[in-house]
Structure 1
Amino acid sequence: MKTCLECDQPFSGRADKKFCSDMCRNAYNNKLNSDQYNVVRNTNNQLRRNRRILEEICPEDKNKTTRSTLMAKGFDFNLMTSQRVTQKGSVYYFVYDYGYLELDNDFFLIVKDNRTNP
Protein backbone atom coordinates (compact mmCIF):
# COMPACT_ATOMS: atom_id res chain seq x y z
CA MET A 1 0.00 0.00 0.00
CA LYS A 2 1.27 3.50 -0.91
CA THR A 3 0.96 6.75 1.05
CA CYS A 4 -0.42 10.00 -0.40
CA LEU A 5 2.28 12.67 -0.84
CA GLU A 6 -0.13 15.34 0.44
CA CYS A 7 -2.13 13.85 3.33
CA ASP A 8 -0.01 10.77 4.20
CA GLN A 9 -3.09 8.52 4.05
CA PRO A 10 -2.66 5.03 2.61
CA PHE A 11 -4.32 4.36 -0.76
CA SER A 12 -4.30 1.80 -3.55
CA GLY A 13 -4.34 2.17 -7.32
CA ARG A 14 -1.99 2.28 -10.28
CA ALA A 15 1.69 1.65 -9.68
CA ASP A 16 2.61 5.26 -10.58
CA LYS A 17 -0.18 6.90 -8.57
CA LYS A 18 1.12 9.39 -5.98
CA PHE A 19 -2.05 10.92 -4.49
CA CYS A 20 -5.21 9.51 -3.00
CA SER A 21 -7.45 12.06 -4.77
CA ASP A 22 -7.52 14.95 -7.23
CA MET A 23 -7.99 17.30 -4.28
CA CYS A 24 -4.72 16.13 -2.69
CA ARG A 25 -2.91 16.28 -6.04
CA ASN A 26 -4.09 19.87 -6.59
CA ALA A 27 -3.26 20.94 -3.03
CA TYR A 28 0.23 19.43 -3.29
CA ASN A 29 0.97 21.12 -6.63
CA ASN A 30 -0.46 24.46 -5.49
CA LYS A 31 1.83 24.42 -2.45
CA LEU A 32 4.77 23.36 -4.60
CA ASN A 33 4.20 26.23 -7.04
CA SER A 34 3.37 29.00 -4.59
CA ASP A 35 6.16 30.30 -2.36
CA GLN A 36 9.12 28.90 -4.25
CA TYR A 37 8.03 30.37 -7.56
CA ASN A 38 6.94 33.84 -6.46
CA VAL A 39 10.22 35.27 -7.79
CA VAL A 40 9.63 33.70 -11.21
CA ARG A 41 5.98 34.75 -11.29
CA ASN A 42 6.77 38.31 -10.23
CA THR A 43 9.61 38.59 -12.75
CA ASN A 44 7.40 37.31 -15.57
CA ASN A 45 4.64 39.72 -14.57
CA GLN A 46 7.06 42.67 -14.64
CA LEU A 47 8.49 41.56 -18.01
CA ARG A 48 4.95 41.45 -19.43
CA ARG A 49 4.26 44.89 -17.91
CA ASN A 50 7.48 46.25 -19.46
CA ARG A 51 6.47 44.85 -22.85
CA ARG A 52 2.97 46.36 -22.63
CA ILE A 53 4.49 49.76 -21.78
CA LEU A 54 6.86 49.61 -24.76
CA GLU A 55 4.04 48.45 -27.04
CA GLU A 56 1.82 51.32 -25.87
CA ILE A 57 4.55 53.89 -26.49
CA CYS A 58 5.56 52.40 -29.83
CA PRO A 59 2.46 51.52 -31.90
CA GLU A 60 4.51 51.72 -35.13
CA ASP A 61 8.02 50.42 -35.83
CA LYS A 62 9.83 53.06 -33.74
CA ASN A 63 9.19 56.00 -31.45
CA LYS A 64 11.01 58.21 -28.93
CA THR A 65 10.16 58.74 -25.28
CA THR A 66 11.77 59.89 -22.06
CA ARG A 67 13.02 58.06 -19.01
CA SER A 68 10.46 59.87 -16.85
CA THR A 69 7.59 58.66 -19.08
CA LEU A 70 8.77 55.06 -18.85
CA MET A 71 9.26 55.26 -15.09
CA ALA A 72 5.87 56.93 -14.53
CA LYS A 73 4.24 53.96 -16.27
CA GLY A 74 6.09 51.51 -14.00
CA PHE A 75 8.86 50.37 -16.38
CA ASP A 76 11.64 48.39 -14.66
CA PHE A 77 14.99 48.98 -16.38
CA ASN A 78 16.55 46.04 -14.52
CA LEU A 79 14.53 43.44 -16.42
CA MET A 80 14.99 42.51 -20.07
CA THR A 81 15.00 39.36 -22.16
CA SER A 82 18.00 40.07 -24.43
CA GLN A 83 20.56 42.61 -25.62
CA ARG A 84 21.80 43.40 -29.11
CA VAL A 85 24.94 45.34 -29.86
CA THR A 86 25.04 47.18 -33.19
CA GLN A 87 28.14 47.39 -35.38
CA LYS A 88 28.65 50.91 -34.04
CA GLY A 89 28.62 49.59 -30.45
CA SER A 90 25.16 50.83 -29.41
CA VAL A 91 23.29 48.48 -27.08
CA TYR A 92 19.58 47.78 -27.58
CA TYR A 93 17.84 46.19 -24.60
CA PHE A 94 14.91 43.98 -25.56
CA VAL A 95 11.80 42.87 -23.72
CA TYR A 96 10.62 40.09 -26.01
CA ASP A 97 9.97 41.82 -29.36
CA TYR A 98 10.32 45.45 -28.21
CA GLY A 99 13.67 47.08 -27.68
CA TYR A 100 14.96 50.38 -26.39
CA LEU A 101 18.15 52.32 -26.93
CA GLU A 102 19.26 55.01 -24.50
CA LEU A 103 19.91 58.31 -26.27
CA ASP A 104 21.24 61.61 -24.95
CA ASN A 105 19.38 63.72 -22.36
CA ASP A 106 17.35 60.81 -20.90
CA PHE A 107 15.60 60.08 -24.19
CA PHE A 108 15.01 56.55 -25.45
CA LEU A 109 14.38 55.16 -28.91
CA ILE A 110 11.77 52.38 -28.74
CA VAL A 111 11.76 49.86 -31.62
CA LYS A 112 9.64 46.87 -32.57
CA ASP A 113 11.59 43.86 -33.80
CA ASN A 114 9.71 42.72 -36.87
CA ARG A 115 12.05 39.75 -37.35
CA THR A 116 10.11 37.78 -34.74
CA ASN A 117 6.85 38.01 -36.73
CA PRO A 118 6.12 35.17 -39.17
Structure 2
Amino acid sequence: MRIYKECCHCSKELRGRTDKKFCDPQCKSAYQYQIEKYNPERFYNKVDNQLKLNRKLLKEYNKGGKVTIRSNVLLELGFNPNFITHYWKNQNGQVYFFIYEYGFLTKKENGKDKYVLILWQDYMAKNSKFTN
Protein backbone atom coordinates (compact mmCIF):
# COMPACT_ATOMS: atom_id res chain seq x y z
CA MET A 1 0.00 0.00 0.00
CA ARG A 2 1.48 3.32 -1.11
CA ILE A 3 1.56 6.12 1.48
CA TYR A 4 2.15 8.93 -1.03
CA LYS A 5 0.71 8.73 -4.54
CA GLU A 6 2.36 11.84 -5.93
CA CYS A 7 5.50 13.93 -5.40
CA CYS A 8 5.14 16.38 -2.50
CA HIS A 9 6.72 19.14 -4.62
CA CYS A 10 5.72 18.75 -8.27
CA SER A 11 2.72 16.38 -7.91
CA LYS A 12 4.04 13.87 -10.49
CA GLU A 13 2.99 10.25 -9.99
CA LEU A 14 5.51 8.36 -7.87
CA ARG A 15 7.05 5.04 -8.92
CA GLY A 16 9.22 2.75 -6.85
CA ARG A 17 9.27 2.35 -3.08
CA THR A 18 5.97 2.63 -1.21
CA ASP A 19 7.33 5.23 1.24
CA LYS A 20 8.77 7.48 -1.46
CA LYS A 21 7.77 11.19 -1.12
CA PHE A 22 9.64 12.83 -4.03
CA CYS A 23 10.21 11.87 -7.63
CA ASP A 24 13.87 12.97 -7.64
CA PRO A 25 16.53 14.72 -5.48
CA GLN A 26 15.85 18.08 -7.16
CA CYS A 27 12.19 18.01 -6.06
CA LYS A 28 13.21 17.06 -2.54
CA SER A 29 15.71 19.95 -2.41
CA ALA A 30 13.23 22.46 -3.85
CA TYR A 31 10.57 21.34 -1.36
CA GLN A 32 12.93 21.71 1.61
CA TYR A 33 14.03 25.13 0.34
CA GLN A 34 10.40 26.32 0.20
CA ILE A 35 9.72 25.06 3.73
CA GLU A 36 12.81 26.79 5.19
CA LYS A 37 12.12 29.99 3.27
CA TYR A 38 8.91 30.58 5.23
CA ASN A 39 10.18 29.45 8.64
CA PRO A 40 11.30 32.17 11.04
CA GLU A 41 15.05 32.59 11.14
CA ARG A 42 16.66 30.28 13.65
CA PHE A 43 18.53 31.70 16.65
CA TYR A 44 21.87 30.28 15.47
CA ASN A 45 21.53 32.04 12.11
CA LYS A 46 20.71 35.36 13.77
CA VAL A 47 23.77 35.14 16.02
CA ASP A 48 26.05 34.03 13.20
CA ASN A 49 24.83 36.79 10.87
CA GLN A 50 25.30 39.46 13.54
CA LEU A 51 28.82 38.23 14.36
CA LYS A 52 29.73 38.30 10.67
CA LEU A 53 28.38 41.85 10.30
CA ASN A 54 30.19 43.03 13.45
CA ARG A 55 33.49 41.52 12.26
CA LYS A 56 33.10 43.01 8.80
CA LEU A 57 32.49 46.51 10.22
CA LEU A 58 35.38 46.33 12.68
CA LYS A 59 37.70 45.12 9.92
CA GLU A 60 36.54 47.84 7.54
CA TYR A 61 37.06 50.68 10.02
CA ASN A 62 40.29 49.42 11.61
CA LYS A 63 42.85 49.93 8.87
CA GLY A 64 45.65 51.13 11.18
CA GLY A 65 45.67 48.43 13.87
CA LYS A 66 44.36 50.83 16.53
CA VAL A 67 41.71 53.39 15.63
CA THR A 68 39.23 55.52 17.59
CA ILE A 69 35.82 56.05 16.02
CA ARG A 70 32.48 57.47 17.16
CA SER A 71 30.22 54.63 18.20
CA ASN A 72 27.22 55.95 16.27
CA VAL A 73 29.09 55.43 12.97
CA LEU A 74 29.17 51.67 13.54
CA LEU A 75 25.78 51.47 15.25
CA GLU A 76 24.05 53.12 12.29
CA LEU A 77 25.52 50.44 10.02
CA GLY A 78 24.02 47.66 12.14
CA PHE A 79 26.87 46.98 14.59
CA ASN A 80 25.59 45.37 17.80
CA PRO A 81 28.12 45.43 20.69
CA ASN A 82 26.18 42.70 22.54
CA PHE A 83 27.36 40.03 20.08
CA ILE A 84 30.96 39.07 20.87
CA THR A 85 33.10 35.94 20.82
CA HIS A 86 35.41 36.75 23.76
CA TYR A 87 36.92 39.56 25.80
CA TRP A 88 40.29 40.64 27.14
CA LYS A 89 41.05 42.72 30.24
CA ASN A 90 44.25 44.78 30.22
CA GLN A 91 46.43 45.69 33.23
CA ASN A 92 44.46 48.93 33.74
CA GLY A 93 41.21 46.98 34.11
CA GLN A 94 39.81 48.07 30.71
CA VAL A 95 37.76 45.37 29.00
CA TYR A 96 38.13 44.93 25.23
CA PHE A 97 35.39 42.94 23.54
CA PHE A 98 36.31 40.83 20.52
CA ILE A 99 34.57 39.45 17.49
CA TYR A 100 37.11 36.86 16.43
CA GLU A 101 40.37 38.81 15.87
CA TYR A 102 38.86 42.33 15.88
CA GLY A 103 38.22 44.05 19.18
CA PHE A 104 36.77 47.25 20.58
CA LEU A 105 36.80 49.19 23.82
CA THR A 106 33.87 51.42 24.72
CA LYS A 107 34.84 54.83 26.07
CA LYS A 108 33.47 58.33 26.49
CA GLU A 109 35.59 61.20 25.17
CA ASN A 110 34.46 64.85 25.26
CA GLY A 111 30.93 63.71 26.07
CA LYS A 112 30.73 61.45 23.01
CA ASP A 113 30.58 57.65 23.00
CA LYS A 114 33.48 56.16 21.07
CA TYR A 115 35.03 52.81 20.28
CA VAL A 116 38.74 52.12 20.28
CA LEU A 117 39.25 49.43 17.63
CA ILE A 118 42.18 47.04 17.95
CA LEU A 119 43.50 43.78 16.53
CA TRP A 120 44.07 40.65 18.59
CA GLN A 121 47.70 40.20 19.69
CA ASP A 122 49.35 36.96 20.86
CA TYR A 123 50.19 38.36 24.31
CA MET A 124 46.46 38.81 25.02
CA ALA A 125 45.86 35.04 25.10
CA LYS A 126 46.87 34.79 28.78
CA ASN A 127 44.05 37.01 30.08
CA SER A 128 41.25 36.44 27.58
CA LYS A 129 37.87 34.94 28.42
CA PHE A 130 35.62 33.22 25.95
CA THR A 131 31.87 33.69 26.10
CA ASN A 132 29.57 30.71 26.50
TM over 0.5: yes
For the 8 Å contact 1:100–1:110, the answer to whether it is kept is yes
**Which amino acid in 2 is paired with 1:108?**
Y
Unmatched 5+ stretches in structure 2:
123-132
In the superposition, the TM-score normalised over structure 1's length comes to 0.67
Q: Identity of aligned pairs, percent? A: 25
Aligned to 2:128: none
Unmatched 5+ stretches in structure 1:
none
Larger radius of gyration: 2
Q: Provide the C-alpha distance between the structure 1 equivalents of 2:95 and 2:69, rounded to a whole number of angstroms.
A: 17
Structure 2 residue 108 is matched with structure 1 residue 101: no
* TM-superposition CA deviations, 1:52-88 (whole Å, max 9, x none): 21112101322111212222333122322x1223254
Deviation of 1:21 after TM superposition, in Å, equals 1.0
For the 8 Å contact 1:47–1:79, the answer to whether it is kept is yes
Q: Provide the C-alpha distance between the structure 2 equivalents of 1:113 and 1:46, rounded to a whole number of angstroms.
A: 19
**Which amino acid in 2 is paired with 1:86?**
K
- C-alpha spacing 1:87/1:97, structure 2 compared with 1 (3 Å): closer
Structure 2 residue 87 is matched with structure 1 residue 84: yes
Which runs of structure 1 show a deviation greater than 6 angstroms over 4 or more consecutive aligned residues? none
Aligned to 1:44: 48
The RMSD of aligned alpha carbons is 3.2
- C-alpha spacing 1:45/1:87, structure 2 compared with 1 (3 Å): closer
Deviation of 1:95 after TM superposition, in Å, equals 1.7
For the 8 Å contact 2:14–2:22, the answer to whether it is kept is no
- C-alpha spacing 1:38/1:52, structure 2 compared with 1 (3 Å): same
Aligned to 1:26: 29
Aligned residues: 113
Deviation of 1:2 after TM superposition, in Å, equals 7.0
Higher mean displacement: 4-13 or 22-31: 4-13
- C-alpha spacing 1:5/1:97, structure 2 compared with 1 (3 Å): farther
Equivalent residues in 2 for 1:60-71, closer than 5 Å: 60-71=64-75
In the superposition, the TM-score normalised over structure 2's length comes to 0.62
Deviation of 1:30 after TM superposition, in Å, equals 0.7
- C-alpha spacing 1:70/1:38, structure 2 compared with 1 (3 Å): same
